[in-house]
Chain A
């Protein structure tokens, strides 16, 4: 009698358990899909126009070429033979299946602070991704960087796996924002300056970084080089639609907005804004602007009025949602002018999102402006209307031209 009752009870529990498991699994896969969006996995692991997660475009790092791997569940060429532990270890410690060390172009230093439950969700999702047979030779680095165990030393120097520590003194929203910015969102991968070994400079978190000839500006509250003038709503609008009253995303941030942040939950964007508005700047004062009567400024002004003012307006105000404001813009006031030189030479297309589908583009001026003219017009832009930043030299323009034409 007792046994029968036990069996009946077990059977019932199993039934309930199975049903619960099925819907639970669906929820976990969906949650994992969202984690993949937060982490923007496809930015690197999907080739433009290619099968999702089947391997991406080569990354040209300062150390050599790396090709993002196939992370579909294909057993031969993807991660089909990986266990959950292998997957977790790759994200948490930068060590994949069979102890194979990842290169930190894969932002595991950021992903290491993702929670186990979020990683488990992501794992559930990646097991349901369509398996694609596509062999990727990830490691195309030159010696000695081609030796993966070199990364053990790198990790020793630059990386300690860390769990996200919430700050009880801050609000739940702030902590959610901190978790997203530091973890899955891996904002610091571009926006934090790198050391000589290619690691984040921990003490300079989100103060602006240079990656692949783009400079990602400071996200701190710096009123001159950062987003001190942006309200929370400005931050949310930028991440959700690609544009706010000051700026419109282009370059690598256009991809980040299109594929990732525009698909984040509004509550998560609010949390990110709350956190970012609280990130402290380095506190350095703005430099003195280059004097308006210097030759470079006067020449640059002539170029600006002839080639730039039709869109960016003679006062540098631009047009909301179409042409970025140049006056008091973080990127314009940044010490590193790489992104500015780059967009003047090559042009740039702004992001298109469901909310802002226009994709206005800046034309290329490489054919029309010589190195001195590009340098002068940027020196003028960087030192007018309240802006102040070091003058751009023709040599910097020459180097960027050569680098982009490679």
Chain B
């Protein structure tokens, strides 16, 4: 494609901007000679310690545990979402910048988006969980004999979740809420165990994912053989202590 010829005015103004930019003091760090380095330099992940709920009330926690155990039920292939810690994972994520959308642009205008664009509203995930869980339990209590979601039989829970997914619930953000929990449950089941889910790397063992490894040079030529090492978390693996391979 031919370049559009520049006008003299365009040339002068762009050159002027360039000179102006060049004469401004640089704000970026400058280094010369050797690269900067200091001992103990590290940016380790800083997950919240488990053993408590940060965002969820007791009823919310039990509700989320019941949901994740329906999305990933325990069977002979793997443990369920509750035992894997998915609810705790979600709670800890909601307690951080994910829960408040601190790291997203949240000033509006909030326009309806396409389905492929995901949630476009003004509520942050922590608030969406609060509203969504309340709606879920209200729906459950209204329709199923006054029982909260976590008190229902598994088949009934599945039906409530299907109703939510299909948007059959009288709740303005119900469809979005189901997708949110589904997404976060999968994240909790497959994220690194240091973040509270994927207990004992159960999710990774389930699908044969080798974990946070970075060196496969010894194995790239070993065709048609299973990778011999167990999965590895950022925090390590039990074999570091037990000594078994």
Q: Which residues of A contact B (CB under 8 A)?
A: 295-296, 298-299, 301-303, 305-306, 309-310, 313-314, 345-349, 352, 357, 359, 361, 363-364, 366-369, 372-373, 376, 404
Chain A positions within 8 Å of B44 at CB level? 367-368
- In order of increasing CB-CB distance, the 4 nearest A-B pairs are A310-B215, A346-B39, A298-B243, A349-B37
Chain A positions within 8 Å of B47 at CB level? none
Asked if B237 and A302 make an inter-chain contact with CB atoms under 8 angstroms apart, the answer reads yes
Chain B positions within 8 Å of A305 at CB level? 215, 229
- Contact status of A314 and B236, CB under 8 A, knowing A346-B39, A366-B42: no
- Contact status of A309 and B215, CB under 8 A, knowing A346-B40, A352-B33, A364-B40: yes
List the A residue with the shortest CB-CB distance to B213. A306
Chain B positions within 8 Å of A347 at CB level? 37, 39-42
- Contact status of A298 and B215, CB under 8 A, knowing A306-B232, A368-B235: no
List the B residue with the shortest CB-CB distance to A293. B243
Q: Within B195-245, which residues are at the interface with A (CB < 8 Å)?
A: 213-215, 217-218, 229, 232, 234-237, 239-245
- Contact status of A310 and B214, CB under 8 A, knowing A299-B240, A302-B240: yes
Q: B13 at the A/B interface (Cβ < 8 Å)?
A: no
Asked if A359 and B236 make an inter-chain contact with CB atoms under 8 angstroms apart, the answer reads no
- Contact status of A376 and B236, CB under 8 A, knowing A302-B245, A346-B39, A361-B37: no
Q: B57 at the A/B interface (Cβ < 8 Å)?
A: no
Complex Cα spacing A349 to B41, Å: 11
- Contact status of A373 and B34, CB under 8 A, knowing A299-B242, A302-B245, A366-B42: no
Asked if B236 and A364 make an inter-chain contact with CB atoms under 8 angstroms apart, the answer reads no
Asked if B240 and A364 make an inter-chain contact with CB atoms under 8 angstroms apart, the answer reads no
Give me 10 A-to-B residue pairs in the complex whose CB atoms sit less than 8 angstroms apart, sorted by A's number. A299-B239, A299-B243, A302-B239, A305-B215, A346-B40, A347-B40, A347-B42, A349-B37, A363-B41, A373-B241
Q: B22 at the A/B interface (Cβ < 8 Å)?
A: no
Complex Cα spacing A299 to B239, Å: 6
Complex Cα spacing A295 to B234, Å: 22
List the B residue with the shortest CB-CB distance to A296. B243
Asked if B236 and A373 make an inter-chain contact with CB atoms under 8 angstroms apart, the answer reads yes
- Contact status of A404 and B39, CB under 8 A, knowing A306-B232, A310-B215: yes
A-B contact number at CB 8 A: 77
Chain B positions within 8 Å of A295 at CB level? 243
| Contacts beyond the supplied A303-B236, A309-B218, A347-B40: 5 A-B pairs with Cβ under 8 Å | A352-B34, A367-B42, A372-B241, A404-B39, A404-B40
Asked if A303 and B34 make an inter-chain contact with CB atoms under 8 angstroms apart, the answer reads no
- Contact status of A363 and B42, CB under 8 A, knowing A302-B245, A352-B34: yes
Q: Give the shortest distance, in Å, between B37 (CB) and chain A (any CB).
A: 4
Complex Cα spacing A305 to B213, Å: 9
Q: B28 at the A/B interface (Cβ < 8 Å)?
A: no
- Contact status of A359 and B35, CB under 8 A, knowing A295-B243, A306-B232, A314-B218: yes
Complex Cα spacing A299 to B41, Å: 25
Chain A positions within 8 Å of B42 at CB level? 347, 363-364, 366-368
Chain A positions within 8 Å of B239 at CB level? 298-299, 302
Chain A positions within 8 Å of B242 at CB level? 299
Chain A positions within 8 Å of B40 at CB level? 345-347, 364, 366, 404
Chain B positions within 8 Å of A303 at CB level? 236, 240
Complex Cα spacing A352 to B36, Å: 11
Complex Cα spacing A361 to B38, Å: 10
Q: Give the shortest distance, in Å, between B209 (CB) and chain A (any CB).
A: 15
Residue of B34, B35, B229, B237 with most partner-chain A CB within 10 A: B34
Q: Give the shortest distance, in Å, between B144 (CB) and chain A (any CB).
A: 48
List the B residue with the shortest CB-CB distance to A376. B240
Q: Give the shortest distance, in Å, between A64 (CB) and chain B (any CB).
A: 23
Tell me which of B37, B39, B237 contacts A306 (CB under 8 A). Answer: B237
Complex Cα spacing A376 to B41, Å: 22
Q: Give the shortest distance, in Å, between A329 (CB) and chain B (any CB).
A: 20
Complex Cα spacing A20 to B61, Å: 92
Asked if B39 and A298 make an inter-chain contact with CB atoms under 8 angstroms apart, the answer reads no
Asked if A298 and B245 make an inter-chain contact with CB atoms under 8 angstroms apart, the answer reads yes
List the B residue with the shortest CB-CB distance to A352. B34
Q: Give the shortest distance, in Å, between A237 (CB) and chain B (any CB).
A: 19
Chain A positions within 8 Å of B215 at CB level? 305, 309-310
Asked if A359 and B237 make an inter-chain contact with CB atoms under 8 angstroms apart, the answer reads no
Complex Cα spacing A363 to B213, Å: 16
- Contact status of A361 and B39, CB under 8 A, knowing A302-B240, A303-B240, A367-B44: no
Asked if B37 and A359 make an inter-chain contact with CB atoms under 8 angstroms apart, the answer reads yes
Complex Cα spacing A348 to B42, Å: 12
Q: Give the shortest distance, in Å, between B135 (CB) and chain A (any CB).
A: 42
Complex Cα spacing A346 to B39, Å: 5
Chain B positions within 8 Å of A348 at CB level? 39
Chain A positions within 8 Å of B217 at CB level? 313-314
Complex Cα spacing A404 to B39, Å: 9
Complex Cα spacing A404 to B229, Å: 34
List the A residue with the shortest CB-CB distance to B241. A299
Asked if B235 and A359 make an inter-chain contact with CB atoms under 8 angstroms apart, the answer reads no
Chain A positions within 8 Å of B241 at CB level? 299, 372-373
Complex Cα spacing A28 to B11, Å: 58
Tell me which of A298, A345, A359, A364 contacts B34 (CB under 8 A). Answer: A359
Complex Cα spacing A225 to B217, Å: 30
Complex Cα spacing A250 to B147, Å: 67
Per-residue CB proximity of B83-94 to A under 8 Å, as 1/0? 000000000000
Chain A positions within 8 Å of B235 at CB level? 368
Complex Cα spacing A357 to B33, Å: 8
Complex Cα spacing A16 to B217, Å: 72
